[in-house]
Amino acid sequence: MKIGFVGLGNMGMPMAINLAKAGHEVRAFDPAATPQPPLATSGSAAEAAAGADVVITMLPNGAILREVAAEIIPAMKQGAVLCDCSTVDVDSARAVADDASSAGLGALDAPVSGGIAGASGGTLTFMVGGGADAFETVRPLFDIMGQKAVHCGDSGAGQAAKICNNMILGATMIVTCEAFALADKLGLDRQKMFDVVSTSSGYSWSMNAYCPAPGIGPQSPADNDYKPGFAADLMLKDLRLAQQAAESADADTPLGALATQLYDRFVTEEDGSGRDFSAMLPRFEQRGRGV
């Protein structure tokens, strides 16, 4: 396929490169980054989108997505698909999809899970909202960039799945870190705790696959001084999106709200910015009850 790719950050660049290495013609643009070989360089987002069968965007937030969409939708050919892989608010995803549909285009919101390592290794999971025909068009590209793509429903459903998933992830990581800190104070060996919890009812992805305790379980950012695989700043962004959606939908999410407050404090007032979201563990290690 001819692919336009807009947004070449830590996630977008390796995703675009994987598509090009698989034999697709990828014309890429980012105002702050130079496309790496084998990507072809475009002078603007509209130039990258012109004539493409699929245009993929990977952008920081909904406001920027709306701006970029307003530029590229008029440049896209009839019947092409705009596939946004950013994590943005549901309202922005749906507004862009409506604009694309009105212009005779297919539209997908397809946020990802898997972090930088998943983008580089082509092992991302895509949560996709939008039309079935557009999904089938882009499915071969999802198969290159990731290991799984789930069609979650109509426009906005992909973003809804992503923020619900990450609200669970944020809350479970916090309580996993709390439990390790408590275990330390009770004199329980961390390895023994992991051996019990990882095979008992406390099992979770945060414990079993991404353990926040260094030297325990599979390799994780905890074993690399909490250098981010998934930054606390990005977890805070996703939790805020979840709370924005909960407010819009009149949904009661008290644990999600508390997780948002804790990550906000961690990132903006403590030392969490630029660290992995599992660096909550040393935070709790240093704190007493009520501090």
Q: Which positions are catalytic?
A: 162
What's the rounded Cα separation, in Å, for the pair 230 and 70? 30
Distances 14 to 6, 58, 283 between C-alpha atoms, Å? 12, 11, 32
H or E element at residue 135? helix 132-145
Q: Closest Cα partner for 57 from 105, 104, 9? A: 9
What's the rounded Cα separation, in Å, for the pair 217 and 198? 9
Both tokens assigned to 65: 């997505």
What's the rounded Cα separation, in Å, for the pair 141 and 139? 5
Q: How many CA atoms lie within 13 A of 59 on its CB side?
A: 25
Q: How many CA atoms lie within 13 A of 187 on its CB side?
A: 0
For residue 41, give the amino acid letter: T
Cβ–Cβ < 8 Å for 167, 113: no
